[in-house]
Amino acid sequence: MRAVIQRVLQGQVETEGQTVGKIDKGLLVYLGVGKGDGVKDAEFMAEKLANLRIFADDAGKMNRSVQDVGGSILLVSNFTLHGDCCKGRRPGFDAAAEPELAEQLYEKVAEIIAEQGVAVEKGVFGGYMHVSSVNDGPVTFLLDSSRLF
């Protein structure tokens, strides 16, 4: 499972002209589920997202989590995070999980985050979305549940 994590002042997802997810201060997370991912990957990812200390404390150090600052998470499914652009000019997506499994694990991540007391907004799984955000910093991290990076 892979994620692109952005610290944001606000984030929003629209589909078919309707806002389906919106947050103020918090994390915009693009989440991609890969072949071989399972519940353990979802648990790892959810725990990291809820507790990753990337918000500033009073001394300006990254020492607070989204929980600590009362922020929210906007979780957006994104199978292209498992795209392979190494060969040719068109990406391959063989490493992405099948949609049914990917949706189950995406929903599991959202469920576990919410159980930890963090408000979660979501995009539309498999939908065409317009995502907008105001990045704070900018602060952006990559996370892989297999610890590839």
According to DSSP, the residues that pair with 30 across neighbouring strands are: 4, 76
Q: 38 with 105: CB under 8 angstroms?
A: yes
Q: Provide the whole-model pTM.
A: 0.97
Which pLDDT band, with edges at 50, 70 and 90, does 22 fall under? very high
Structural domains of the chain in order of their starting residue, each with its CATH number: 2-144 (3.50.80.10)
Confidence (pLDDT) at 149: 78
Distant-in-sequence contacts of 56-59, Cβ < 8 A, 24+ apart: none
| Residue 138, preceding peptide bond in cis (omega within 30° of 0) | yes
Distance CA 21, CA 2 (A): 21
* Measured CA distances, 86 to 2, 47, 92 (Å): 18, 31, 9
For the stretch 72-124, pLDDT in tens is: 999 999 999 999 999 999 999 999 999 999 999 999 999 999 999 999 999 99
Distance CA 12, CA 53 (A): 22
Give the Cβ contact number of residue 75 at 10 Å: 28
Is a pLDDT exceeding 90 seen at residue 148? no
